[in-house]
Chains A and B, each alone.
Chain A
C-alpha cells in the first residue's frame, strides 16, 4: 500500500541544477519512483554538461524517458525553452525541482558588486525564472509540485557567507509567497532544507567536512539520497495539503545551540 501512495508513475519532472550532488540524486530518485525526467545544468560548463548527460543516461537505464540540456539558468529565454522542450518531448510537466547552487564565501568588504549580483542571479533569480516558466503548464493543468532545495544557510547565518545566505533565504521566502499565490490552483510550492551533505559545493575541503561531522548531532553528513527521498515524498499525490513549507533534513543541526 505505502509504495503506491508514494509512486509517481505517469508523471514528468524537470530537475534544474541536476549536475549538483543533490540535483542528480533528486533526478534519479524521481526516475526510480516512476517519473520521466528532464535534467538541466545550472550553468552550461563542460563539467556540468557531462554530469547532466550522465544523469540522463542513468534515468534511461531505469527505463524512464529523459533528456539532458546544458543551459544558463539566469537566461530568461533558455529557461523558457527548457520548459517548452520538457513539455513537447515528455508530454507534460508535473514536478519542478530547483537544485541551483553556486557556492560562494568571502568577507563582505571584498565582495564586489558583480560577485554579489552573480550569487543572487544564480541562486535566487534562477529559481524565479524556472518557477515562472513552469507555472504556465502547471496552472493550465491546475496541478503541480514545485520543490526548491535550499541550504541550512537560508535559515542560519555564517561569517563570510553573506551573499549566499541572503540568496538562500530569498528562495525560502519566495517559496512561501508563491505557495499562497497558487494555493487555489493545485500547485504546491515547498522547499527542502538540506543540511550539510556529502558533495555540497560549500564544503571546501576534508577538514571542514570532519569539523562539521563532529558538530552535527547525527555525527555525520547527509548522503544525497537522504535529501532526495524527501523530494519523492513532496512530489507525490499524498502532499496536496502541504504548501509553503520547508522540510529540514539536517541531522539535528538546527536543533542545537
Chain B
C-alpha cells in the first residue's frame, strides 16, 4: 500500500474521551477527517453535542456519551453504547484529564481526597477505559490505544503534584499495555502535547505567545490532529509503548534558559 493511503481510517471507530473541547475535540475532528466514525465522550453534554455536530458536518457518524471517566460504571456504559451503535471499537484516545482541586498548593496542604481526585482523573480513568475496551479489541483482532501525557509527565513544575505524578504514570502504563498486548495486535502509544492555546486570545496572552518555547510559538491545532491520525493509522503499526511529543523543542534542552551555549573556542584554536 502506498504510504499516503495508510493515513486513512475509513470504516474504523474511535472513542475520544474529553472530546468536548480543546485537544480532545481537535483529535476527534482529525480522526473524522481521516474517515473514522467517532464516539465523543465527556462530562458536559452541550460540549460533546457541538463536537458531534462538527464531526457530522464532515460526513462521519458520531454518537455522544455523557461520561464521567472517574466512574467505572459510567466508562463501561460508554463502551457498551459504542458497541451498540457501531459494533466495533478500533481506536481509544484516553484524553480526559486536567488539573483538579488541590492544584497549586504545597504538598503538605493537599488533602487525601484532593490527591485521590487528581490521580483518579488523570490515570485511573485510563485504566477504566482500557479495561472496558481491551476485550473488544482482542476479540476483533487488534486496536490502537492512544494515551495523552504531558511535558509534566517527564518534568516537574511548581505545586503541581497529582497531575505530574499521574501523567508520568501514564507513560509507564502505556509501556505495560504495549508489552502485554503486543501479541494481540494492539498498539499502545502516547501523545505529549506542549502548549496549544486553540486560537484563544486569553490563552495566547497567558502563555505570552509562546515566546519561551524554543521555536518561539505555541502549537497549532492542525499540528495535533495529524499526530493522532499517525498513531491511529497503519502508518504506526510497529510503534508500541512509545510517544510523539509536540512541544516546540522544550524537552530537547532545559539545561540553560536560552537553549544556547556561549561561543567557547578550543584552547589551541582547533589545531591538531
A238 interface contact, C-beta 8 A: yes
B219 interface contact, C-beta 8 A: yes
For B179, what are the chain A residues with a Cβ–Cβ distance below 8 Å? 217, 252, 255-256
For A251, what are the chain B residues with a Cβ–Cβ distance below 8 Å? 182, 238, 240
Identity of the chain A residue whose Cβ is nearest the Cβ of B1 in the assembled complex: A225
CB A8 to nearest CB in B, in angstroms, measures 9
Q: Are B7 and A6 interface neighbours, CB within 8 A?
A: yes
For B98, what are the chain A residues with a Cβ–Cβ distance below 8 Å? none
Question: What string of 1s and 0s marks CB contacts (under 8 Å) between A24-60 and chain B?
Answer: 0000010011000000000000000000000000000
Q: Please provide the chain A residues from 146 to 193 with a CB less than 8 Å away from any CB of chain B in the complex.
A: 175-177, 179-181, 183-184, 188, 193
Q: Are B238 and A244 interface neighbours, CB within 8 A?
A: no
For A175, what are the chain B residues with a Cβ–Cβ distance below 8 Å? 252
- Cα distance A232–B176 when bound, in Å? 28
Q: Are B252 and A218 interface neighbours, CB within 8 A?
A: no
- Cα distance A250–B240 when bound, in Å? 7
A230 interface contact, C-beta 8 A: yes
Chain B: interface residue count, which band? 35 or more
Identity of the chain B residue whose Cβ is nearest the Cβ of A62 in the assembled complex: B2
- Cα distance A177–B253 when bound, in Å? 7
For B237, what are the chain A residues with a Cβ–Cβ distance below 8 Å? 226
Q: Are A3 and B249 interface neighbours, CB within 8 A?
A: no
For B223, what are the chain A residues with a Cβ–Cβ distance below 8 Å? 238-242
User: Which of B58, B241, B259, B260: most chain A CB closer than 10 A?
Assistant: B241
- Jot down 30 A-B pairs with beta carbons below 8 A, ordered by A: A5-B7, A5-B222, A32-B2, A32-B3, A32-B4, A175-B252, A179-B249, A179-B252, A180-B260, A183-B249, A193-B242, A217-B183, A219-B182, A229-B235, A230-B239, A232-B3, A239-B226, A239-B227, A240-B215, A241-B247, A241-B248, A242-B245, A243-B214, A243-B215, A245-B251, A245-B252, A251-B182, A252-B182, A252-B240, A255-B175
Q: Given A3-B5, A240-B220, list of 16 further CB < 8 A pairs?
A: A1-B34, A6-B3, A29-B3, A175-B252, A180-B252, A229-B3, A236-B226, A240-B215, A242-B245, A245-B245, A247-B239, A247-B244, A249-B239, A250-B242, A251-B238, A252-B241
Q: Which residue numbers of B lie inside 8 Å of A, CB to CB?
A: 2-9, 30, 33-35, 58, 174-176, 178-179, 182-183, 194, 214-216, 219-220, 222-223, 225-227, 229-230, 233, 235-242, 244-249, 251-253, 259-260
